Each structure stands twice: as C-alpha cells, then as structure tokens.
Structure 1
Amino acid sequence: MSADVWLPIPPEEIEGLPEGPRYLFWDGGEDGTQPFPGDPADCAVYVVPYMKRGPVKARPLPRMRALRVVQTLTAGVDDVLAHLSDLPPGVQVCNARGVHEASTAELALTLVLASLRGVPGFVRAQQQEHWQGGFHPALADRSVLIVGYGAIGSAIEDRLAPFEVARVARVARSARTSARGPVHPLTDLPGLLPHADVVVLSTPLTQDTRHLADAAFLARMKDGALLVNVARGPVVDTEALLAELKGGRLTAALDVTDPEPLPPGHPLWHAPGVLISPHVGGPTSAYLPRAKRLLAAQLRRYAHGEPLAHVVLTTDGTGA
C-alpha cells in the first residue's frame, strides 16, 4: 500500500509523527499553482490545505487513486463532499473536530456582544470624533437558540454560561440529552424560533441545512432578534435575510456569507443592522497547535492500523 502523506504544514514542525510514511509538504502555494510534491497516485493520506479556495483543495484529488484518508483542517467537509466522485471507494473523510471550537466559539460570542451593545456604531462614531451615547440591550437575561449543537455549538454554550442568559435552547439533527440539558431535533425549530432573542447558527452545511434559515425560518424569529452565522454562508438564504434587514425587523452578525468572499457592491455590505467579519472564526493563534496535535494523533492511528477519529463518511465509489 502506498505510504505517501501530503501535509499542508511542514512535517518537521509537527511533533509526534510516526515513522514509516513518507511525509510531503503541499499547501497549494499562494496562488494555488504550487507543483505537486510527488505523484498524486502515490498519496495514501491527503491533509487538505487550510484557508485555500475549493479548486485548489480539489486539484490533486482526481489523480489520487490510492487514497485511503482525506483529513480536513476545518470543522466542515463541504469542500470535499463536492468532489466525492473524484475519490476511489473506501476513502475515509475526517473532519477537524477539536481544532476550531475555541476560536469559533470566541468569535460567536464576540459577534453577539458587539452587535447587541452597538460596537459597530461606536467605531463609526469614533472615526467621526463623535461622542455617541445611547441605550443598548445586554446579553444578560436574553434567550439564546444554538442551531447546530455539535462540538462548536457546545463550546459556544460554555462561553455563554457566565453571561447570565435567561435560557439556552439547543438544536441538532436529532434529539438527545447533553450535559447542559436537552437537545431538540431540527423539526422543533418552528416552535423554538419565536422565543429566541439571539439565534446562533453553527451547523454543518449539508443538503438538509442549505438555506435552513430561509424566509419562513426568519419570519418566525421574534421582532428585534439577532441572527449570528458562524456556520457556512449557504445555511442562510441571503435574499431572505436582506429583506428582513432592510425592513429593520431583524439584525445579523455574519462571519460567513453567500456568496463568499462577499464581492464589492453586494447589498449585504451596507444593509442596516448587519455586522460582517470575513470568515475568521477559525484562523487564530489557537489553530496551529491544535491542528498539529490532531494530525500527529490521526497519523499515529493510521500507521498503527487503529480506527481513525472524526470519520464523517467512507466513500463507496459512486460519488454519493
């Protein structure tokens, strides 16, 4: 079996890599045209470059016919799911659970607090040397709904705990019980949305969650509620959100958008009541040490023939 492992982090910078595989560095390069470090046909484990455009990540996949593992460095694997037809059968696709929870949860809380407390307005006023006071809602005593209660959703609730929120409701694909309380299935959303002051989206992008926050979803949110998206842009129907923002009924804080990157001139840039950050939930100083630990642990499992962690799916060769 082929033993080449392609890493987007120089292997000499990762402690604890097992002996045996040949480690090759490839991150696509600044413009995405970096030559391949070896023959893609000899690659058994492909660690997808982080913070690269989809076409760059997918470029070697059609030639990786001996591939056994695809390891992303993101919580979502949608960039890989779009290219399943390029993968041979039996490939395990793994996500980066444990890498981005801290950073993304921090940003989610930042977006909530900045939006509720009017920080964007303060920044604009400062630029104009204008002392702008006023009354703003606190996070304390608010009801929060987390849609997508996986590792990141749980980390968000951990950071909400000290802020004296009135209530946290949790939604995931299916019902279960967590350490903090019940987790509702997606089918319960219509009854939960009208009671939430803040709705945080942290769900993976799948066929079931694409445009989950559509016109009907947004219409059920209470007047004056805040929508926060740290998931993926297409989880929200942009046109439906724009209609609510322009009407002033809802506000939003978005780390991800659809389209992304958001092009100049797009109406979302200047919609009232919206705060936009440029998909920076994951890339912080917390990322690299956690990514290195994940890769070392996964590759030790692979080298020793042990079950891999965080397997999202195994391909069957049909592209499904």
Structure 2
Amino acid sequence: MADITRNHRPTVWLPIPAEDVGGLPEDLEYRFWDGAEEFPGDPADAAFYVVPYMKGAEVAGRPLPRMSGVRVVQTLSAGVDHVTPFLPGLPAGVRLCNARGVHEASTAELAVALTLAALRGIPRFVRGQDAEEWHDGFYPALADKQVLIVGYGSIGAAIENRLTPFECHVTRVARLARRSPHGPVHALGDLPGLLPQADVVILSTPLTPGTRHLADARFLAGMKDGALLVNVARGPVVDTGALLAELEAGRLQAALDVTDPEPLPQGHPLWHAPGLLLSPHVGGSTSAFLPRAKRLLRDQLNRFAAGQDLANVVTTT
C-alpha cells in the first residue's frame, strides 16, 4: 500500500514523461528516467520503478542496488529475465510486475508473419527480386499444418487466435498441463511425444532457468525433417550451436526474432545460415506498444496510489 501523506509523496521513476502518459494520480511524485547516465534523483527515494524499455539488463539494473525504498518494479516487457538477477539485492516485499496485455497482439502478429514468410518462401522472393530472378513453383502452405505452441501463456493464446483463420491444427504446451478455452494444454514433459508430429514449432515461453536451452540438440532432433522452428520468446531458449548444426545440415528451417547472442554481431554464422529468416527482436516494438504501455502505467499507478492490488505481479521478493 502506498504511504501517501500531505508531507511526502511516493516517488515514481518513469521512462515516459508523466505528462505524456496522462491520467496519473496527483498524489505521487514523478521523475523521468529512460536510462540516461545521470539519475533524475536519489534512487533510494524511488517507491515505484518503471524499467526503461529495450535498454538491456545493464541499464535496467543500474539503479536497483540503490533503491532501498522501492516497493514496485514494473517492466514494460512481457519477459522479466533482464531484471530478475537484481531481485536478491532488493528489500523484502518488492513486487515485480510485467507488461502482460501490452505485447500480445504485436508479438502474435510477428509470430504468424514469420511463419507465413518462412513457409511461403518470401525471403527467396525478395532476393529474387533484387537479382531479377523469377522463383515460381510450389511452396508449403500453413493450411493443414500441425503447429505446436511451446509457452502457452497470454502471448501463446494470442498466437493461436491469429492462427485460427489459417486452418491449421494447434497443439499447446505450457509448464504445467491444464485446460484452456481452446482445448487441452500439455505439460513440457509431453514434448518428446509431440515434437515429431509438428510441422511448425513456435516458442513463446519466458526465459527462466528451466527454459534456457529448452530447444537443445535433443529437442531439435525430435522435430520432423523439414519442420520450421519459430522463436519469438528469448534467444537463449534455443541452443544456438545445436540449431546451427540442424540448419547447416538442411534438416530444419527456422525463423528467429530473437537470438543468442543479441544483438547478433557481424560475422556470426547465423547471418548466413541456410533456411533461416531473421528479424531484429521487434516482436513488441510496434505502433501498438506506446498506447498500451501508457494504459498499463495509468492503471498500475492508480492502483498503487489507492492501495489496491496490482496487476501482473510475477513475484514478490
């Protein structure tokens, strides 16, 4: 609960100017910080810290060791892996919240776009246009394909919603088995039996110790010949070396919005791996981001000021 008195207003660090967000409670003090070298005030005074978006772990974590009074850490990303290493140094009771509801639409759009582009040969057509080459013929369709979504949270569900009109068959996997409005969700332990059936495997799982290198050599070997791996999760969910081996052998295709390492350095073999389509981690950074991020911040900060439960709490220290 926010400790709001006439003499002291809790301080909020925002990566978007408060006046641009609009609709924020007046009984909070706002400081703008988007990762600049200089802090906008003493980090120890911050009660609510909104992490700068897409600035990396070094920037996200820079003020945290000095935030002795922080009560909420709010990311503007769906994943929180860039913040979790700093949690042990925070006071007890700090709530870490993610941006559930902000990125589902954009990330799901890109997952479907990458899938369609890779299957239908769009990279080949673009290169053919540059070289004035006409690459006609038959290409795989998404229709009737077996699609396996690994990481069936809000983004995974949004991906399925957008796949439905394409007349493909979707199988869902999450950490634990459960039922969803669309049907059963399998547990991760079921993957060995599910992977050989999938034509397309879409990764949308958060990066945790349990999902790091989830798509390792054994996982990839379990995929059928010619299958497509799409990663809109985090780069380290895939073992890069194991994927390169499969791509260079010509057995699998891949479409990656995220890589390990990231950003991908010049000269890295992924740049020219056969059967690979790359996008530069743009799943969430679209025109849909800012209005939804502002809406989330308005809601969270009004809840905080009123002493209400916050949304999207991932963990509490």
What interval of TM-score do these two structures reach, taking the shorter chain for normalisation?
Answer: over 0.9
C-alpha deviation, 1:86, in angstroms: 2.6
Q: Which amino acid is the alignment partner of residue 68 of structure 1?
A: R
**Who is 1:91 aligned against?**
94
Q: Which amino acid is the alignment partner of residue 29 of structure 2?
A: R
**Who is 1:204 aligned against?**
206
Write the distance in 1 (CA, Å) between the matches of 2:95 and 2:137: 54
Q: 1:107 aligns with which of 103, 107, 110?
A: 110
Write the distance in 2 (CA, Å) between the matches of 1:202 and 1:307: 27
Matched position secondary structure for 2:111: helix
C-alpha deviation, 1:134, in angstroms: 2.1
Asked if residue 27 in structure 1 is aligned to residue 34 in structure 2, the reply is yes
Q: Which amino acid is the alignment partner of residue 282 of structure 1?
A: G
Describe the superposition over 1:233-290 as per-residue Cα deviations: whole angstroms up to 9, x where unpaired. Answer: 0000000000000000000000000000111111111110000100000000000000
Write the distance in 1 (CA, Å) between the matches of 2:89 and 2:249: 44
Write the distance in 2 (CA, Å) between the matches of 1:130 and 1:116: 19
**Who is 1:268 aligned against?**
270
Asked if residue 80 in structure 1 is aligned to residue 83 in structure 2, the reply is yes
Describe the superposition over 1:158-202 as per-residue Cα deviations: whole angstroms up to 9, x where unpaired. Answer: 00000011x100000111111100001111111100000000000
List 4+ stretches of structure 1 deviating above 2 A. Answer: none
Q: 1:213 aligns with which of 193, 196, 215?
A: 215
Q: 1:122 aligns with which of 120, 125, 148?
A: 125
C-alpha deviation, 1:131, in angstroms: 1.6
Q: 2:248 aligns with which of 235, 246, 249?
A: 246
Unmatched 5+ stretches in structure 2:
4-8
Matched position secondary structure for 1:78: coil
Q: Which amino acid is the alignment partner of residue 57 of structure 1?
A: A
Matched position secondary structure for 1:79: coil
**Who is 2:56 aligned against?**
53
C-alpha deviation, 1:45, in angstroms: 0.3
Matched position secondary structure for 1:6: strand
C-alpha deviation, 1:92, in angstroms: 0.2
C-alpha deviation, 1:38, in angstroms: 1.1
**Who is 1:171 aligned against?**
173
Matched position secondary structure for 1:211: coil
Unmatched 5+ stretches in structure 1:
316-320
**Who is 1:255 aligned against?**
257
Q: Which amino acid is the alignment partner of residue 161 of structure 1?
A: T
Write the distance in 1 (CA, Å) between the matches of 2:82 and 2:54: 11
Q: Which amino acid is the alignment partner of residue 312 of structure 2?
A: H
C-alpha deviation, 1:83, in angstroms: 1.3
C-alpha deviation, 1:85, in angstroms: 2.5
Write the distance in 2 (CA, Å) between the matches of 1:301 and 1:192: 42
Write the distance in 2 (CA, Å) between the matches of 1:233 and 1:267: 15
Write the distance in 1 (CA, Å) between the matches of 2:23 and 2:299: 8
Q: Which amino acid is the alignment partner of residue 182 of structure 2?
A: R
Write the distance in 1 (CA, Å) between the matches of 2:276 and 2:91: 43
Write the distance in 1 (CA, Å) between the matches of 2:176 and 2:24: 36
Give aligned-pair identity as a percent: 72
Matched position secondary structure for 2:82: helix
C-alpha deviation, 1:53, in angstroms: 2.1
Write the distance in 2 (CA, Å) between the matches of 1:62 and 1:255: 31
Q: Which amino acid is the alignment partner of residue 292 of structure 2?
A: R
**Who is 1:318 aligned against?**
none
TM normalised by structure 2 equals: 0.97
TM normalised by structure 1 equals: 0.96
Matched position secondary structure for 2:100: coil
Write the distance in 2 (CA, Å) between the matches of 1:296 and 1:163: 36
C-alpha deviation, 1:296, in angstroms: 0.4
**Who is 2:308 aligned against?**
306
**Who is 2:135 aligned against?**
132
Matched position secondary structure for 1:263: coil
Matched position secondary structure for 1:184: strand
Matched position secondary structure for 1:108: helix
The equivalences for 1:157-196 within 5 A come to: 157-165=160-168, 167-196=169-198
Q: 2:45 aligns with which of 21, 42, 57?
A: 42
Write the distance in 2 (CA, Å) between the matches of 1:186 and 1:132: 39
C-alpha deviation, 1:15, in angstroms: 2.3
Q: Which amino acid is the alignment partner of residue 205 of structure 1?
A: L
Describe the superposition over 1:98-137 as per-residue Cα deviations: whole angstroms up to 9, x where unpaired. Answer: 0000000000000000000000011111111112212110
Q: How many residues align?
A: 310
Asked if residue 5 in structure 1 is aligned to residue 12 in structure 2, the reply is yes
Matched position secondary structure for 1:134: coil
